Structures are given as C-alpha cells and as structure tokens.
A and B are shown apart, each in its own frame.
Chain A
C-alpha cells in the first residue's frame, strides 16, 4: 500500500517500536507520540518514543539507546579528515567543522547530541509529562545516606556513578495535550475570561510562578490606549481570577524544577548534593558522557548547549523583564501570601478539570433522562410546570452542584488549620453531602426556583433530594442518613459510578453501531446480558437468521470486541462435537473501543497536519492580509481549505470528548 501521505513525516526513528506502525500496534502510544511531535517537535518525539519503548530509563541509557537508532556509520578516515581540516584552519578562522553523525535531519527526529536529548527531557519534565524517580545510590537505602563518621546526612551526589534518576513517560498526560482548548473553555465558563487566559498561559508554558503567570496575561491583555487606572483594574481582576482558580482547585502548586544556575550556586555554597536531579553526569563539547568531574554548564562554549540553556531558562529570563509590572503584581499578591506563597510555581490541575467536567456531563445526562418527563406530564393549561414533577426538572442542576462540591472537596486546597483527623474524615466522606453543602454550587435559576416555592430554599432542596432518591430507572441519589430529624437535613450521595457506567455503555453502543452495524451492537448487549452463549441462542435473541448472527459474531471476534471459548466433549479436538461459546469481557470491549477512538483521533490529526503542510502557502498569504490576492478561485480554495480544517478540528474535539468520558472522567 503506497503511503497516502507521500513525503509527509510524522514519526520519529523510534516510532516503529511503539506506534501504529508496530506489530501489534498500540494506538494510544501512537497518539501520545503524535501529540508530542505536534506540540514540541520531532526531537522531543524521538525522546518520548525511546522512553515509551524502553520503559523507565536513566538518561545515560536513553542517550545510548537513541544514538544506536539515530547514528549513522562513519569511518575513521573521514574523522581524521575533519580533524585535519580543523587543525589546518586554525582557531582564528571561524568555528570548528563538525561531522553530522545522525542518519537523518533533525526535522525527521534524528538526534545524536546528548545535550539535545537532555534538553528534550527537561521540556517534558517542565510540562509534567515525565516522572522522575530514584536519586539514591544504587546500593543505598531510600533514606538519606549517612556518611561513615555518623555526621549529618549528605544528599546524593548526582555526578557519582552510583546515582541514578529514572525517567518514565506519562503517556496519558501527553494524550491530554489536544484537550487544552476544552480546559480553557471550561475555565471561562466556570470562572471568567481572565481565568481562561491564566489557564491558557499555564497550559502553554507547562508551569509558571504566580507572578509570571499574572504578568504574562496582563501583558497580553493591556492595551496601549487604556490609561493606568484601567490597566490597574485589569490587573486586579486578573489577580482575583488567579485566586479563584487556586481556591477552586483548577490550578495547583508544584515543586519547582531547579535551574542549572541555582543548582550550581547551591553546589558552590554548600556542596551538599543537587536538588532536582538535573545534573547526573557531565557532557563534553562533543556530547560524550563522562562521570566524575563537575562541569559548569552555564559557561559552556557550545552554541547548542547555549541555545538549550536559553530555552530552559526562558521562564527565569522573562521574569523580571518589566520590574514595574512585577512590583505591582507582587504588591497585589502580598495580602494573599497564605494562599499564594512567594515564588510558588503553579500548573493546571487536569484532575480537577476532569472532575468538574464530569459534574456537568452527568448533570446533563440526568436532565436528559428525567427532564423531559415534566414537559409531557406536567404541563398544565396555563403552561406552567406541575409542582408534582418539578423535582425532575431540577435533577440535572442538583447532580451538577453535588458533584462540583465533591470535586472541590477533593482538589481544592483545604484550610491550613485542618487537623489530621479532619483530613481523614474529609477523605472518607468524599462525595457525601448535606443539602446545605451544595447550595453555593447551585445555578442561580435553580436557587431562584427553590426559593420561590413554599418552604424556602433549604427545605425545598431537601424535599427534592428525597424525591430524587426514590427514582430507580436509573437511581441517581442515595439517601445515606435519613433527612427527617437530621440537623443538617440528611446526608446524600450521587450514584456517580452507576451513571458513568450507563453513559459509557451508551457511547460504546453507539460506536459499535456506527462501526459494525445495529445487529452487532445488539448482539454485544445480548452477550453482556446473558453471559456465555452459543450462536444459535444469540441468533434467536437478536431475531436475525442464524447465518447472519454467525457472521456478525465472527466479525466482532476478529475486531476484538468479543471472545470465543470452546468446550470439548472428547479428549481430542473434534470441531463437530465441540461447543463454542461467545461472551463479552467488558474491560476488553472498552479497551477495543478506546483503541479505535485513539486511531480515529490519530488519523484525523495526521490528516490535519498534512493539510496544514500542503496549504502552508495559503496560510502565509493570508497572514500578510493584503488585497493582492484578488483571484476568486484562490479565495474560494482558501475558504474551503479553512472550512476543512475547522471540520477536522471539530471532529477531533468531539472524538477527544468521547475519549475523555470513556477513560478520564
């Protein structure tokens, strides 16, 4: 089969070990790899693929593995020639001549320079896509090592040959990269537009200090035409949004990754080891790894390492560019130092975003299941809804409020005065709420609706919760402690797992129907309901001819949706007497659907990347935005091109939301 993308490069030299070109293919790994390439470039993709194929590795192992794949064969004669050229040209005649030892270009992901690999690893660390573990000596215990004289414990020396840091790639986090627009939009809907800008800056940069993030957004939002007062108001609004984001749990503080300069300063001062694990070995100018001597990387003469150094220290350099802004930011943050400690580093908390989105999704699901009954049953002659069924209309908003409260309980930073016991109680009662707990999270219309009814907000909310707890098709709320006589109006819990399972089941049914047909989807439901069945029983229940049922079963089996087991009545295999039973393993079915969705997302992304590459000329011309391009035909093609990209983006977002419900919520 010819390459449909002819000339378009989308994989790294190590992709054949992990991605969709491998056998058996792993679509989720391939998707993670493609997302990394799209956002960080081909070199980072190479490092990612190496980590995915090798598993947890040290930097040394990683560099040698990548070099094995990327380096080309070169002979000593050529090396001697280059040395002669360098020697004869002398030091004053420009830079040294170096030989390109890679098999291909950097644009294709071929990398041999260890500093490039290290820089890629730092980028992945910065964006929280790599997990670091280890840091101790190979032979020592996990506790801080104590030297032989029994004096104060020394931190491990990363340049020592016995110190190992192991890096593991977090593929699931990489898969979230295309979901950033969703998070930004969610922050805008939950808080405000400034919060959306803040989340965008944090997602784009990986992690930032509070001052950097606020300054960055303020720099983008303030206009030259506005006066100082307006700019100050904007800044105050941004700081308030930042505070709301922290209090809601949408962003969280993380341990900062120490920069090289900080590390070296620490080394010079105390000589007590390295924080952050960034310096594990030293590199010479040729990128050769050696242990033992400590090298001052900041004074390196290598251009490459300088450029990477700039990239790594970008956050540090940007900070403090505009001293006046920073002072204003610092001044506004000073009353909030308990919540926002000085110099604290923040990143977007994707778990909280998922929990919050889950609240909205399940609230919508409940509204769709029960909400319409009000219209069909409760519409009176004057058009107002019947009070008897009004609780069904509020089911969705109540579920959303309760789950939002549970998400805040789990992710928002708690009171500093919380004791250990209180913390245990909070964690044990995660998801359990009293009516008064969810009042702050109810929508204004819902609050108004409850307040206007006789009894007041609290009483009506409790009554509604009691009525909703009696619904069984499906059950949505469980009453854990009886409301009657309860000081807080009772304790309730949302049947989150049940609702989520129901939604996932419907999604899987729809995906299978789209891909394999209605009969196949029906057969899967029958097998889930009945367990192990012969094909004749399946045909009878599905009300299709036996031949059609058998064909559907084999097709589903080939696609890995269902399983086949056989029972032999004799010791030797005899297909004439064996009993063949079909069944569905839910986890396997879900994994197959997720893999198919991953494949679809990957193919759409590849298609989009290819179209962008092909239509690059159009896009460049459009950037200039002149009227030179009066060609109508060209304009139409460009519009069609943009529309196509838009539809591809829409399709990717929808598929990503499907993936989110199946895997991340």
Chain B
C-alpha cells in the first residue's frame, strides 16, 4: 500500500481568503471622532440607515473582496456624504466587523468587511491582540517567527505569549514548525495552507523527511522505466500518468516534482537519457552497467584476506 499522506487542509472560503503577496502594514484602529449622534441597527436587525446599507453593500462588492475598499474610493463614491460614514465606521470597528489596513509604501487606507463568524472571533480582542493578528496576517502563508512579531509589535514576551494563547484558542492563528528550523515557532493564520518552503512539500511528513516515501517513488519510477514500452524509453509525462493511475501517492505530485525524482535517478546513474519523443520530451531508459576498472571494494581486501597482528586493512583508504 502506498504511504498514507495526511489529508490536505481545507482551503478557506473565498470570502475569508487572505491576501497574499501584499505586505500589509498593520494599523491600530483609528480613533475617529463622531460629530453626529446616530443610532444604528446591527446587521441581523433591519437596517434603517440607507447610508450604512450602501456602505456595507460597497464593501461586499466582488471587486473589493480581498484587499478592501480604498479610502479614496470611498470619498469618490460617497462624495459629500463621506463625512457621515465616520460613526458607521466607528460602530462597525467596535463590533469587529471592519478592519483597516495600509499597503507597504502606500499612504492609502483600505477598509475590509469581516463576516459575522470572523467578527465573533475577533470580538473582545484588545488592541494588542488585534495588532498581533494583523502582523501575522501580513506574513501570509509563509508565517512569521515569534521573534519577528515581538520586534514589529514591541510587545513584551509575557504579554505576547498570552495573546498567542488567546488567538490560538479562538482558532485565529496556529503554530507551525518549519522543516529548516524545527526548534523555532512560526505563526500563521488558522485557515491558511503553509507554503512549500515551510512544510518541505510532499517530501516531508509531520516535519520529518520521508525517506521511505521517496524511496518507494524512486523504485516505482525505476520499474516504469524498465517495463513500460518494453524498455525502449519513457517520458516524464508517461511516468507521471502511470503514478496517478497506480495511485502511488495520495498527494497529487506535479510534473515538476516527478522531474525532480527522475533527476536524482539520473545523477545516480540508475537511468539515463536515450532519445526524445516527437514532442521533444526526453526519453529515459535503464542505465547500462559500465566496467569502471576499480570494481573491488576495500572491504573485500579487508575481510577476506587476513588481519595480521590486529592490523586493519581499512587503513588502505586512509
């Protein structure tokens, strides 16, 4: 039976998908003054304020999903009514329905709407916790070390530990161990799938290099090369298709990953390239055994001859 690979973590829904690639500078919630006393209804109840409704509709618009609405876009959209948004923004922020962020290198503030579920998770968090959350969110799927969080937020370690515990309990963040540094803790958002550089890709299982899995895959490829097409040669695509067909791995291996395996066999002189297909893809055949003169191993001389006076012939290679 092929080794069982752990099921891939469910990808978060589109509405809550985090932005990637954009380094977002965390902003503590702005203190916005309200000049007009206005009463609001929450989302579940009927919304009597058309401005609020319009604001929420705008934030929910598909083109603003992900990054959010820029402040300048709000101004352009609402025109004179822009100043009336202030109490609405404050109210939503207090209810943890709204987040504000700034992209690196930009002065523009972006407003994003959170779902009710997320809002409930964020409710009750203090400013420090939200700051930590934003810092972790900005790291994306590559995660961020605890040291870096402390440096960026300037929060003492003891407080930070409590915040981490609180956020983990609310399932907002999760700790990850990188394969390159197993002793260090890495944090990322709960719903994100860690990047390949962190997990090591399909070659790692629970942070450990899966030698057996790779050995099985290599053996399978060797068998394919020997038996398919009567040993006349197989391409990487054919090998990949055969792997899918034989269900060797529960994790879907990309063509690049199969090529990586084939390359290691090439470097070990187990298989060799012999021709190309009509499409220009390389064909691989089992490598021929070549007489390389020095066929004996020093251990043959050591073990099978004699040891005189306790002298070990392994010194031949010293």
* Partner-B contacts on A (CB < 8 A): 4, 364-365, 368-369, 372, 376-377, 472-473, 503, 506-507, 509-511, 514-515, 518, 521-522, 525-526, 529, 536, 540-546, 548, 596-597, 599-600, 603-604, 607, 611, 614, 640-641, 643-644, 647-648, 650-651, 654-655, 657-658, 660-661
B261 touches A543 (CB 8 A): yes
A4 touches B311 (CB 8 A): yes
Enumerate chain A residues within 8 angstroms of B306, measured Cβ to Cβ.
640-641, 644
Bound together, the chains give a CA A640 to CA B295 distance in angstroms of: 23
B291 touches A368 (CB 8 A): yes
Given A600-B298, A648-B305, A658–B288 Cβ distance below 8 Å? no
What's the minimum C-beta distance from B211 to chain A, rounded to whole angstroms?
9
* B 132-172 contacts with A by CB, 8 A: none
Enumerate chain B residues within 8 angstroms of A599, measured Cβ to Cβ.
317-318
The 8 Å CB contact of A503, one of B180, B232, B290, is B290
Bound together, the chains give a CA A557 to CA B299 distance in angstroms of: 25
Given A372-B288, A541-B260, A543-B214, A654–B231 Cβ distance below 8 Å? no
A506 touches B203 (CB 8 A): no
B311 touches A515 (CB 8 A): no
B290 touches A365 (CB 8 A): yes
Given A506-B292, A640-B306, A647-B305, A600–B317 Cβ distance below 8 Å? yes
B290 touches A661 (CB 8 A): no
Given A607-B316, A654-B296, A376–B304 Cβ distance below 8 Å? no
A521 touches B268 (CB 8 A): yes
**Who on chain B is nearest to A643 by CB?**
B305
Q: What are the 9 A-B residue pairs with the smallest beta carbon separation, nearest first?
A: A658-B294, A525-B267, A644-B305, A545-B209, A658-B293, A657-B293, A603-B316, A522-B267, A473-B274
Given A526-B267, A654-B295, A4–B315 Cβ distance below 8 Å? yes
B296 touches A651 (CB 8 A): yes
Enumerate chain A residues within 8 angstroms of B232, measured Cβ to Cβ.
377
A546 touches B179 (CB 8 A): yes
What's the minimum C-beta distance from B312 to chain A, rounded to whole angstroms?
9
Bound together, the chains give a CA A365 to CA B291 distance in angstroms of: 7
Given A4-B315, A544-B209, A368–B289 Cβ distance below 8 Å? yes
A546 touches B180 (CB 8 A): yes
Enumerate chain A residues within 8 angstroms of B311, measured Cβ to Cβ.
4
Bound together, the chains give a CA A372 to CA B296 distance in angstroms of: 24
A522 touches B231 (CB 8 A): no
**Who on chain B is nearest to A6 by CB?**
B309
Bound together, the chains give a CA A548 to CA B290 distance in angstroms of: 29
User: Is B269 engaged at the interface, CB distance under 8 Å to the other chain?
Assistant: yes
B179 touches A522 (CB 8 A): no
The 8 Å CB contact of B308, one of A368, A372, A614, is A614
A543 touches B260 (CB 8 A): yes
What's the minimum C-beta distance from A271 to chain B, rounded to whole angstroms?
56
* B 245-273 contacts with A by CB, 8 A: 260-261, 263-264, 267-269, 272-273
Bound together, the chains give a CA A655 to CA B296 distance in angstroms of: 9
Enumerate chain B residues within 8 angstroms of A540, measured Cβ to Cβ.
260
Enumerate chain A residues within 8 angstroms of B298, measured Cβ to Cβ.
514, 600
* Partner-A contacts on B (CB < 8 A): 179-180, 203, 209, 214, 230-232, 260-261, 263-264, 267-269, 272-275, 288-298, 300-301, 304-306, 308, 311, 313, 315-318
How many pairs, one residue from A and one from B, have CB atoms within 8 Å of each other in the complex? 106
The 8 Å CB contact of B263, one of A364, A541, A614, is A541
What's the minimum C-beta distance from A502 to chain B, rounded to whole angstroms?
9
Given A542-B264, A546-B179, A507–B317 Cβ distance below 8 Å? no
A510 touches B263 (CB 8 A): no
Enumerate chain A residues within 8 angstroms of B261, measured Cβ to Cβ.
543
Enumerate chain B residues within 8 angstroms of A503, measured Cβ to Cβ.
290, 292
B317 touches A647 (CB 8 A): no
B317 touches A596 (CB 8 A): yes
A510 touches B203 (CB 8 A): no
What's the minimum C-beta distance from B149 to chain A, rounded to whole angstroms?
20
Enumerate chain A residues within 8 angstroms of B294, measured Cβ to Cβ.
507, 510-511, 597, 654-655, 657-658
A369 touches B288 (CB 8 A): yes
Bound together, the chains give a CA A535 to CA B27 distance in angstroms of: 38
Bound together, the chains give a CA A411 to CA B267 distance in angstroms of: 38
What's the minimum C-beta distance from A339 to chain B, rounded to whole angstroms?
35
Can you spell out 7 A-B residue pairs with CB atoms less than 8 angstroms apart? A372-B288, A377-B232, A521-B268, A543-B203, A611-B308, A654-B294, A658-B294
What's the minimum C-beta distance from A370 to chain B, rounded to whole angstroms?
8
Enumerate chain B residues within 8 angstroms of A510, measured Cβ to Cβ.
292, 294
Enumerate chain B residues within 8 angstroms of A640, measured Cβ to Cβ.
306
What's the minimum C-beta distance from B21 to chain A, rounded to whole angstroms?
22
Bound together, the chains give a CA A599 to CA B316 distance in angstroms of: 7
Given contacts A376-B231, A503-B290, 9 further A-B contacts (CB under 8 A): A4-B311, A503-B292, A507-B293, A521-B267, A541-B260, A543-B203, A597-B294, A607-B316, A640-B306
The 8 Å CB contact of A647, one of B203, B292, B301, is B301
**Who on chain B is nearest to A645 by CB?**
B305
What's the minimum C-beta distance from A638 to chain B, rounded to whole angstroms?
12
Bound together, the chains give a CA A93 to CA B230 distance in angstroms of: 93
A509 touches B269 (CB 8 A): yes
Enumerate chain B residues within 8 angstroms of A604, measured Cβ to Cβ.
301, 316
Bound together, the chains give a CA A658 to CA B288 distance in angstroms of: 19
A522 touches B305 (CB 8 A): no
Enumerate chain B residues within 8 angstroms of A542, measured Cβ to Cβ.
264, 267
Bound together, the chains give a CA A640 to CA B305 distance in angstroms of: 8
What's the minimum C-beta distance from A518 to chain B, rounded to whole angstroms?
6
Enumerate chain A residues within 8 angstroms of B289, measured Cβ to Cβ.
368
**Who on chain B is nearest to A640 by CB?**
B306
What's the minimum C-beta distance from B60 to chain A, rounded to whole angstroms?
42
Enumerate chain B residues within 8 angstroms of A511, measured Cβ to Cβ.
294
Enumerate chain A residues within 8 angstroms of B209, measured Cβ to Cβ.
544-545, 548
A545 touches B290 (CB 8 A): no
Bound together, the chains give a CA A515 to CA B311 distance in angstroms of: 20
A600 touches B291 (CB 8 A): no
Given A510-B294, A522-B264, A600–B315 Cβ distance below 8 Å? no
A603 touches B305 (CB 8 A): no
A515 touches B317 (CB 8 A): yes
Bound together, the chains give a CA A522 to CA B260 distance in angstroms of: 13
Given A545-B209, A600-B298, A651-B301, A364–B293 Cβ distance below 8 Å? no
Enumerate chain B residues within 8 angstroms of A369, measured Cβ to Cβ.
288, 290
B273 touches A473 (CB 8 A): yes
- A511, A518, A543, A604 pick with most chain B CB within 10 angstroms: A543
What's the minimum C-beta distance from A375 to chain B, rounded to whole angstroms?
11
What's the minimum C-beta distance from A151 to chain B, rounded to whole angstroms?
61
A368 touches B301 (CB 8 A): no
What's the minimum C-beta distance from B222 to chain A, rounded to whole angstroms?
14
Enumerate chain A residues within 8 angstroms of B260, measured Cβ to Cβ.
540-541, 543
Bound together, the chains give a CA A542 to CA B209 distance in angstroms of: 13
Enumerate chain B residues within 8 angstroms of A641, measured Cβ to Cβ.
306
Enumerate chain B residues within 8 angstroms of A518, measured Cβ to Cβ.
268
The 8 Å CB contact of A661, one of B275, B288, B293, is B293
What's the minimum C-beta distance from A362 to chain B, rounded to whole angstroms?
11
**Who on chain B is nearest to A364 by CB?**
B291
Bound together, the chains give a CA A70 to CA B101 distance in angstroms of: 86
What's the minimum C-beta distance from A26 to chain B, rounded to whole angstroms?
16
Bound together, the chains give a CA A650 to CA B284 distance in angstroms of: 36
The 8 Å CB contact of A473, one of B264, B269, B275, B297, is B275
Bound together, the chains give a CA A53 to CA B78 distance in angstroms of: 92
The 8 Å CB contact of A506, one of B231, B269, B295, B318, is B269
What's the minimum C-beta distance from B301 to chain A, rounded to whole angstroms?
5
Bound together, the chains give a CA A123 to CA B316 distance in angstroms of: 31
Bound together, the chains give a CA A614 to CA B291 distance in angstroms of: 35
Bound together, the chains give a CA A364 to CA B274 distance in angstroms of: 19
B301 touches A648 (CB 8 A): yes
Bound together, the chains give a CA A503 to CA B292 distance in angstroms of: 7
Enumerate chain A residues within 8 angstroms of B267, measured Cβ to Cβ.
521-522, 525-526, 529, 542
What's the minimum C-beta distance from B246 to chain A, rounded to whole angstroms?
20
What's the minimum C-beta distance from A295 to chain B, rounded to whole angstroms?
49
Given A4-B311, A544-B209, A654-B296, A600–B305 Cβ distance below 8 Å? no
